Structure formats: C-alpha cells, structure tokens
Amino acid sequence: MANLEVIEHDDAGNITVTYVESTNDQGNARVDLVRPLQTKSLLQRTLGVFLPAGYPHSVTNDYFEYQVYDSLQAFSSSIAGLLSSRAVLSSVGVGDATASPTAALLLSVVEQSVGRVITILFAYRFGTSLEPECKMYRLLADVLNDFAFVLDCLSPAFPKPLRVLVLTFAGVLRALCGVAAGSSKASLSAHFAKWGNLGELNAKDSSQETVISLLGMLVGSQVVTYVTSPMPTWTTLMLLLAVHLETNRRAVRAVRAVSMRTLNRQRAGIIYHHLRGGHVPSPEEVAHTEWIFDWDGVMRRADGSLLGHCTVGASISDLLSSIASTHSSTKSTTLGSISLTKLLLPFATKKYILWYEPRIIGRQLEVSIALKQGAECIDIIAAWWHAIAMSETVTALSTGNAEDEGGFSVLEKTMRDVDQLLQKHRKPLEDLGWDLKTGALETRSGRRLDVRKL
C-alpha cells in the first residue's frame, strides 16, 4: 500500500515527476516514479527562452499584456527608424559628390555632445519624479522618439546650415527618450518581478527586444526598398508612428495593462476618495481611473475636477508665506494672530506640517506640506490625504477663506478624519496588494525639518 507521495514541480509550477513509496505485505518498501503524460510543446519551450523562469507565477498578472504591446511598439519603431535613418543619410550627403565625410562626422559629434549635456540636465531636474510617474515618462519617451523620427525625415528639405540644427534637436530628443525610457522601464520591471528576479526579467526583456528588432529590420528592409517617393514614405511613417504610439498607450494605459501598487500623488488621491465612499479599491480598480499625463502636485475631487495644488517637501518659509497670504501682508515668525509655535502645535505628534493659501477668484487653493526628519512613506500619504481633505473643506466655505480659529478648527478636524481613515483601512489596503512602504509621492528633492524646543 502507498504511504508516501513526493511531487516535484518545475519553476512554473508544472508537475515533472511524482515519487510514490509503497510497502508490500512483507513490509518491504518500494519507490515508483510517475511522470505526467503531457509534455511541453515546441511552442512552450520556445516561449520559455524569452519568458522569466517560473512564468506566470514569478511575475504580476499584467506582465504578459504589457509585453505584447511593448513588442508591437518596438516592431513598428524599428521600421520607422529605418525610414528616418535613410533620411538622415540623405541629409549628411550620401549620394552627394560635394559632401564631406568629416562634416558628417563633426555633425555626429555635435549631436551626441549636446544630447549628453541635455540628459544630465534632464536627470538633475526630473530624476526624482521618474519612478513615481514611470507610466507617464514611459509614454513620453516614445512621443519624443517619434518626434525625432519626424524631424529626421524633414531634415533633407532644409538648407544645409539649418539641417545641423534640425538633426541636433532630433538627437537631443532621442537622448531624452533614452533617459526617460530606461529609468521608467526599470521601475516597471521592478513592479513586474514578484520573486526578486529583476535581473533575469531585464535579461529576458533584452532577448525579446533583440528578436523583435531583428524582425523589424527584416520587414523594414523590404519597406525601404519599395517605399522610396516622398508621399508613400510619409504615409508609411505616419501609419507606423500611429501604431507605435497607440500600442505604447495601451501598454502603459492603466485601463489596459499596468496596475502599479505604489502610491504616487494621483493614485493616493483616487484611493482617498474611494475610502471616503466606504470602498477599499484594488490596484486594478484604481488603474481604470488613473490618468497617464497629469500636472505635478495637482489635487482632484472625486469626480476628477481640479481642487488645488500641493507642494510636498516645502520649506518653512513656504508655510510662513502661506500664513502671510491668509492673514496679513506682513511676513515674519509672528504673522497676524498666528505664531510659528501655534502652527506647529497641532502637528506635534506628526511627521509633517501643512498650511494653505486662500482661494482667490480664478485661482485654486495652494497647500504646502513640510516634512519632518524621519518622515516615512505612510506619513507622506497621510499628509497628502490631509491636504485633500482640508482643501475640500475650505473650498466648500462660501468665502473660500477662514479666520484664525476657524482655519485651525478645519485643520484639526480634517487631521482627525484622515487619521481614522488611515487607521481603519491601512491593513485592508495592504491585503489587496498596495505597497504603503515605498515612497512615490515626492517628485522633487525636498527639505526636512528638525523641530527643537530651546
């Protein structure tokens, strides 16, 4: 009789062999091997070369759909790249007996040099926002790249002196595309990797891109051979770019594929409004209402309309300026009837401080959030929710402004509401897969406050 069974699985969870131990009437043990009748097909083995080990268990559910669209956009981009490369070769003088190879080389040097300087400035200015807004920058990268393709194809129509500027600008756009695409893709890969297999996932992604690029060049070689006149060239290019942008939009569009689990400002606001309505949303639900492009620091109401603007990581001078706008025209440590000590008092146990500027005709509410030393992601989420709650309450007032005591009563009441909301729903949010420990709400390098009593 059988008394022990050991089942062996591969990385994907498929049963490879089963060991069954049994004993006979004399008490002798015997181990039998039972192999499944079904084996992997040739297609499954081929796909296994390009998919992460343990697929589909080792990646998130949105991985496959994203990769399908990503492959389609890479295919169309490869063909469009050949058309633009032909135009660039024509611009630098291929086929022109008067053209100089040295001039073409110097043009390439200028183009790459300017592009590298711009990438340094871009990384300095937008580096901290690349991860929180990775889907936006992933799509923006391809918009920049497509614009560069268009400039390349336009370059032969310009006089030679202007071609240098056009091609240099196209090179700058491609360089910006490289930074934005590389950084945002790294964030997306970290999102997809469930088993800590980020390195292997990136390696398999490179394998996929290699095959798609080879196929694109193969098909593109036929395209550039038969499409030579201007009108068919532009028609083909526009069609390819339309496919490229649409597949990119579908790849990163939350409705279609990627459901991020970290909370950036937009997702944090959407979750807040869901929780106020008594519903704890999943990452997939939030993805259905998330925008790809949105202004930095924008706060929105539940219906998506503009509520105001909030700065995270503000300095204490920004808070004092907000108080001055609310209560008087004098800027000092004692402004109107509010002292700095009185402002800090409600936030004694918090890792943040916030205040607002009043709503004026034709202008939305401006909120400034200053973070204290040791502020963690959950503290910044609470601060962002507090900013939304206070903005909704203040803008609901008939005058759009509040007196000293009224302003502080709104501040303290909304703080209590947010604390209760976060305490009640923090575990349900984490149970649904939300990552409340990874910071994604700061899009710029901010300051930290160290409050001390003297």
Domain identity same for 287 and 202: no
Amino acid letter, residue 57: H
Burial of 108-142, coded b for 16+ CB within 10 Å and e otherwise, reads eeebeeebeebbeebeeebebbbbbbbbbbbbbbb
CB contact at 8 A, 92 and 152: no
Q: Tokens 């909301």: give the residue.
A: 421
Say what the pLDDT of residue 35 is: 63
Share of residues in the chain with pLDDT > 90 (%): 44
By C-alpha distance, which of 224, 278, 246 is closest to 90? Answer: 224
232 and 288 share a domain? no
Q: Which of 208, 230, 254 is the last residue of a domain?
A: 254
Q: Is position 260 within any domain?
A: no
Q: What is the pLDDT of residue 99?
A: 75
Of 254, 283, 310, the one marking the end of a domain is 254
pLDDT digits (tens, 9 = 90+) for 161-181: 899 999 999 999 999 999 999
165 and 301 in a single domain? The answer is: no
269/228 same-domain check = no
- Least confident window among 1-15, 267-281, 341-355: 1-15
pLDDT surpassing 60 at residue 255? no
In a domain, 44, yes or no: no
Asked if the structure places residue 211 within a domain, the reply is yes
Q: Which residue has the higher pLDDT, 187 or 243?
A: 243
Residue 55 phi, psi (nearest 5): -60, 140
Task: Select the highest-mean-pLDDT range: 6-20, 127-141, 251-265, 377-391.
Answer: 377-391
User: Which segment of 128-137, 272-281, 372-381 scores lowest on mean pLDDT?
Assistant: 128-137
Say what the pLDDT of residue 403 is: 44
**pLDDT of amino acid 34:** 67
Identify the burial level of 28 via C-beta atoms within 10 angstroms of its C-beta, where 0-12 means exposed, 13-18 middle and 19 or more buried.
exposed
pLDDT band at 404 (very low <50, low <70, confident <90, very high): very low
410-454 pLDDT per residue, tens: 889 999 999 999 999 999 999 999 999 887 888 877 788 888 776
Q: Which domain holds residue 359?
A: 265-449
Is residue 210 located within the same domain as residue 143?
A: yes
Structural domain ending residue among the three candidates 188, 221, 254:
254
Q: Which residue has the tokens 């999943």?
A: 282
Measuring CA to CA, how many Å separate 149 from each of 85, 91, 159, 312? 8, 13, 18, 37
143 token code pair: 């918009």
Question: H or E segment at 206?
Answer: helix 198-226
Give the pLDDT mean for 199-213: 92
* CATH assignment at residue 241: 1.20.1250
Q: Is 345 inside a domain boundary?
A: yes
**Comparing 9 with 289, which gets the higher pLDDT?**
289
Regarding whether 278 and 154 lie in a shared domain, the answer is: no
pLDDT confidence tier of residue 132, bands split at 50, 70 and 90: confident
For residues 216 and 301, membership in a common domain is answered with no
CA distance 367 to 304: 18
74 in a structural domain = yes
Q: Say yes or no: 222 and 295 in one domain.
A: no
Nearest to 442 by CA among 299, 300, 296: 296
Q: What is the mean pLDDT of the chain?
A: 84
- Give the number of other CB atoms < 10 A from CB of residue 358: 19
Residue 245: what pLDDT? 93
Give residues with Cβ within 8 angstroms of 344, minimum separation 6: 353, 451
The residues, ordered by sequence, that sit 6+ positions from 132 with a Cβ below 8 Å of its Cβ are: 262, 264, 265, 440, 441, 442, 443
The answer as to whether 259 is a domain residue is no
Amino acid identity, residue 429? L
By CB atoms closer than 10 A (0-12, 13-18, 19+), residue 3 is exposed
Average confidence (pLDDT) over 94-118: 86
Q: What is the pTM of this model?
A: 0.79
Indicate whether 228 belongs to any domain. Answer: yes
pLDDT at residue 361 tops 60:
no
Query: Is the same domain home to 222 and 313?
Result: no
Same domain? For 416 and 353 the reply is: yes
Cβ count within 10 A of residue 38: 8
Asked whether residue 45 is assigned to any structural domain, the reply reads no
Query: How many structural domains comprise the chain?
Result: 3
| Same domain (yes/no): 191, 95 | yes
**Pair (115, 14) in one structural domain:** no
CA distances from 211 to 63, 79, 172, 198 (A): 18, 14, 27, 20
For the residues 49-72, what does the mean pLDDT come to?
Answer: 88
Own/partner contacts of 277-285, CB < 8 Å, gap of 24 or more, are 277/302, 280/425, 280/428, 280/429, 280/432, 281/432, 282/432, 282/433, 283/259, 283/432, 283/433, 283/434, 284/259
pLDDT tens, residue by residue, 316-335: 777 777 666 655 544 444 44
State the burial class of residue 190 (Cβ atoms within 10 Å of its Cβ: 0-12, 13-18, 19+).
middle
Q: Categorize the per-residue pLDDT at 405 as very low, low, confident or very high, splitting at 50, 70 and 90.
A: very low
- When pLDDT is cut at 50, 70 and 90, the band that residue 336 belongs to is very low
